[in-house]
């Protein structure tokens, strides 16, 4: 069952430290590459796939955009591919008009 697999994955993840500062130095976030390095081997170990399903609530504000991204977590061992969907908010900033792409890459 996908819920059990996610619980196992979560039990093996180390605490995530927020080290990345925003441009104003007001907000810290974790580095996505460090999170992926921790999570990817566990997804493989427990045969869980994560795929993007939908983008919603896109709210542009100048060079910044806010959006929500829905992901499906799929149990690859399950005969009927048991899954759950999770919606995650994200934002992105880009001075060259690529703020949606910035938000999508930060929202992985």
User: Could you report the per-residue pLDDT of 25-71, keeping only the tens digit for each?
Assistant: 777 777 777 888 899 999 999 999 999 999 888 888 877 888 888 99
pTM of the complete model beyond 0.75: no
Q: Do 100 and 58 touch, CB atoms closer than 8 A?
A: yes
CATH number, domain with residue 59: 3.10.450
* Host domain of residue 94: 2-106
Q: Do 10 and 35 touch, CB atoms closer than 8 A?
A: no
**CA dist., res. 80 & res. 99, Å (int):** 37
Give the pLDDT band of residue 101 (cuts 50, 70, 90). Answer: low
State the pLDDT at residue 105: 63
Cα angle: 55, vertex 16, 39; to 5 degrees: 60
More confident residue, 7 or 98: 7
Give the pLDDT band of residue 104 (cuts 50, 70, 90). Answer: low
Domain total in the chain: 1
């Amino acid at each position: 069952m996908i819920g059990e697999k996610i619980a196992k994955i979560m039990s093996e993840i180390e605490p995530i430290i927020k080290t990345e500062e925003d441009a104003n130095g007001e907000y810290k976030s974790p580095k996505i590459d460090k999170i992926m390095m921790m999570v990817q081997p566990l997804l493989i170990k427990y045969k869980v796939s994560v795929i993007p399903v939908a983008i919603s609530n896109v709210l542009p504000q100048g060079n910044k955009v806010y959006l929500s991204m829905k992901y499906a977590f799929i149990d690859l061992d399950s005969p009927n591919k048991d899954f759950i969907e999770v919606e995650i908010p994200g934002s992105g900033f880009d001075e060259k008009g690529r703020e949606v792409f910035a938000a999508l890459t930060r929202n992985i």
